[in-house]
Amino acid sequence: MRLQNDSLSFDDLLNFMKYARSTMGFCWMKSNPDKNSRLTGLKEKVYACALCEIAKTRHNSVFGEGNPDADIMFIGEGPGEQEDLSGRPFVGRAGKLLNKLLSSVGIKRESVYIANIIKCRPPGNRNPSESEITNCTPYLNRQIEIISPKLLFGLGKFAASYLFEADIPIGKLRGRYIKKGEVVISCSYHPAYLLRNPSASELFIDDLKKAIRCIDL
């Protein structure tokens, strides 16, 4: 960090605050009441949604959570058992692994936003159906619009296919990135896959680091 006349310059301070916000979860630095109220309004719509059959079997809709001003937004597939019971994304085993992977690249979970392609748990953790994805993704799109992240990072094949608008295996899509308007889109393996294939965690870390380098944090 550069010193000017023994004191920090305004740019130094700004850069430090950007760094702190992105890595340490200093969410209070950029809190936006308008975003919060828009997200709350959207969450109410999601909680009331009954478009799919799986709305009947859910304990809770899992809207998503995190910093509404996040630069990075992670998109998973859909709630599992623990998420359905708690109403929060990525709180089960895959979520714990995701937290570890984020820490390993210096990201605090509280500094990012985490949502899913679908908001209700498919019974038995089956894959989301096409109609469920079609019904639910307008909510996700609205969430993305409100949060307006710099990086959208898909976790696993359903999120990757949706974000890249391409039906390509995750093994081929991972680590790639494209730009849609101002937003960088990238993806890697789903943490549940990494639980079964721990050696692929290194690839996930590489993919995430590469995507972060593409954005101006």
Nearer to ligand URA, 21 or 109 (CB): 109
Nearer to ligand URA, 86 or 104 (CB): 86
State the minimum distance, in angstroms, from the CB of residue 125 to ligand URA: 8
Nearer to ligand URA, 83 or 207 (CB): 83
119 within 8 A of 80, measured Cβ to Cβ: no
CA distances from 115 to 84, 105, 203 (A): 13, 20, 22
State the minimum distance, in angstroms, from the CB of residue 153 to ligand URA: 13
The DSSP-derived string for 48-113 is H---SGGGTT-S-----EE-TT-SEEEEES---HHHHHHT-SS-SHHHHHHHHHHHHTT--GGGSE
Nearer to ligand URA, 68 or 89 (CB): 89
Write out the residues near ligand URA by the rule CB under 6 A. Answer: 62, 76-80, 83, 89-90, 94-95, 116, 192
State the minimum distance, in angstroms, from the CB of residue 62 to ligand URA: 6
